[in-house]
Amino acid sequence: MDKNVTFYFAPHQDDELTNLGAGIVRQLSAGDDVYVVLCTDGGASSVKRMLIDGGGCRWHGGCHHYPLDAAAFTAARDREYRESCRRMGVPADRVLISPLRSPDGGLSVEQAAKIILDALDRFCPDGRVATILPVYRCHQNPDHTAIGEAALQLHRQGRIPAPALFFEQLLCGKTPEGTGLERLDPTSEERARLLDAAAAYRIWSPETGFYAVGYHSVADEFDAFCSDLYGLLKYGDR
């Protein structure tokens, strides 16, 4: 039997974990091939100011003044992303940063569709697509809506199989009822991998380029993720 090959499209560094991680570790334990594709530069984080311009940091009890330009800040976030993927068990050569990625906050549906097709085209045209379920309420991040919407549109055009779309629990609180979402409960081994991956966003080692950008920006989201760890998904328009 052919192996399942699935591409997980993460709008920002950390979405591969907090929104898609339960699916990624489950497919890896099933022996499937997993690619992860980052779709923006993650450059709009408010942490940039905190780390660079001497904003106060309660966590480290003081101020930070690291001379990071936009490229260095994105590189620091990319490092956390790669480390998170590595800890989930994704082989390094399948942890991708799309050459077509958008500036953070500027991902259009059109560009997202290009990113999806480009990755499939270069690595596995028959691959399946997994990303975030677009929701038009709860103030979903527009980059998240764009990538989900792009996957649905490509499917409706017959260009990709039904995508697996993950509902953002952290966004709307509890699970909506009657929406046909399937619950993915990680095994204890998978939970250990997810927790280890979350810790990648807490690495504080400025001398090696790790600034814990993830935890400086959304510590509460990581904590909420670490306390449940399950995923909720649906396939295509079903």
Q: Considering beta carbons, is residue 5 or 102 the nearer one to Zn ion?
A: 102
How do 62-63 and 56-57 pair as beta strands? antiparallel
Q: Considering beta carbons, is residue 3 or 60 the nearer one to Zn ion?
A: 60
Burial 150-160 (b: 16+ CB within 10 A, else e): bbbbbbeeeeb
How far is the C-alpha of 63 from the C-alpha of 50, rounded, in Å? 8
How do 182-184 and 128-132 pair as beta strands? unpaired
Q: Considering beta carbons, is residue 5 or 21 the nearer one to Zn ion?
A: 21
- The CA distances from residue 144 to 2, 95, 103, 170, 180, in Å, are 31, 19, 13, 13, 20
Q: Which residue is nearest to Zn ion (CB)?
A: 57
Q: Considering beta carbons, is residue 15 or 83 the nearer one to Zn ion?
A: 15
Min dist CB 12 to Zn ion, Å, is: 4
Min dist CB 134 to Zn ion, Å, is: 13
Q: Considering beta carbons, is residue 51 or 120 the nearer one to Zn ion?
A: 51
How far is the C-alpha of 141 from the C-alpha of 149, rounded, in Å? 12
Min dist CB 54 to Zn ion, Å, is: 11
Min dist CB 94 to Zn ion, Å, is: 20
Binding footprint of Zn ion on the chain (CB under 5 A): 11-12, 15, 57, 59-60
Min dist CB 203 to Zn ion, Å, is: 12
139 Cβ neighbours under 8 A, 6+ residues apart? 171
